[in-house]
Structure 1
Amino acid sequence: MIVKETKLKGCFIIEPTVFKDSRGYFFESFNQKTFNKLTNQKVNFVQDNESFSSKGVLRGLHYQTGDDAQAKLVRVIKGRVLDIAVDLRRGSDTFGEYEALEMTEDNKMQLFIPRGFAHGFVVLSDTAIFSYKCDNFYNKGSEDGIIYNDNHLNIDWKLPEEELLISEKDLVLPTLKDAKL
């Protein structure tokens, strides 16, 4: 397993070791002991989520506030997505900056997103199955987000605007400047 910290402190790209032969492949998608050692993080994941989406579906940019903040370990099971993590930690040297990672069923890359970040992704393949582990339980009352096309962030979602499929809820999210952090 290769673990690389991104430009955003505490946010890691994880490349698992994949063993392939004529029967297919095998890899360890998560090992608490190895994860804690290689990231120097002590994270206890308590909830796993999975979504299925079609091409152009953009989910995000979401986060939970206060005691309900979540760290996430995300990966693609099927398809290809562009995954985005935005640093919302006031006082951080990289506040308002983001990391973009193209994750596919073939590259098996994962992204660890610490608490204090917004997260979103867009599906670049015909369909995608996306999975993520969370270190805190979902609480609707603590849910918040930032509009996907915030001018300050200037994220290139890799698809034309007219191809994006965005929920009504996500279309009315505030800008980073107006977000409750």
Structure 2
Amino acid sequence: MKIEQIHHVAYRCKDAKETVEWYGKMLNMDFILAIAENHVPSTHEPDPYMHVFLDAGNANVLAFFELPTKPEMGRDPNTPIWVQHIAFKVKDRAELVEFKEHLEANGVDVLGVTDHSIFHSIYFFDPNGHRVELACPDPEEEAMLKRMDEVKWDMLNEWSETKRAPKHAEWLHKKELSDV
């Protein structure tokens, strides 16, 4: 058995229509499907909802639920705001910068471009308060990923034992690839 791909990722939203329009305008995602019922199919709980689906490219689907009878949505107060997010890949740095300029021109506060060595990112929030990241590959991504692959298990095992950042990939944020 093997998972083929993610079917969709679902988040809660404050307003389904606003969310669909925002993702269409800001990230050029097409609205592909809406499902609305008064009962939850899996639990049979009586609870009206609107479930909307957006095309995030390459058969990736981003979905949202609007739940008007539930308390206002919030965040886990024990998780830093930068941790929980969804990241989308864009072609290259030029397109990343183009998205940044587009978002800012439409009143969205954007953090970055942040250089993570393997990739470069910008960060912002959607109208629901969800953190969104757009990332593009670094031109040296393939070589860096090969080096990271060689140490991933050592890093994970060391982290598991010490809960301290292992030093196996310190070069990553220094972009020292001369020996690759």
TM-score by length of 1: 0.24
Flag the structure with more relative contact order, 1 or 2, with Cα contacts below 8 A and sequence separation at least 6. Answer: 1
TM-score by length of 2: 0.24
More helix by share: 2
Which of the two has higher C-alpha Rg?
2
More strand by share: 1
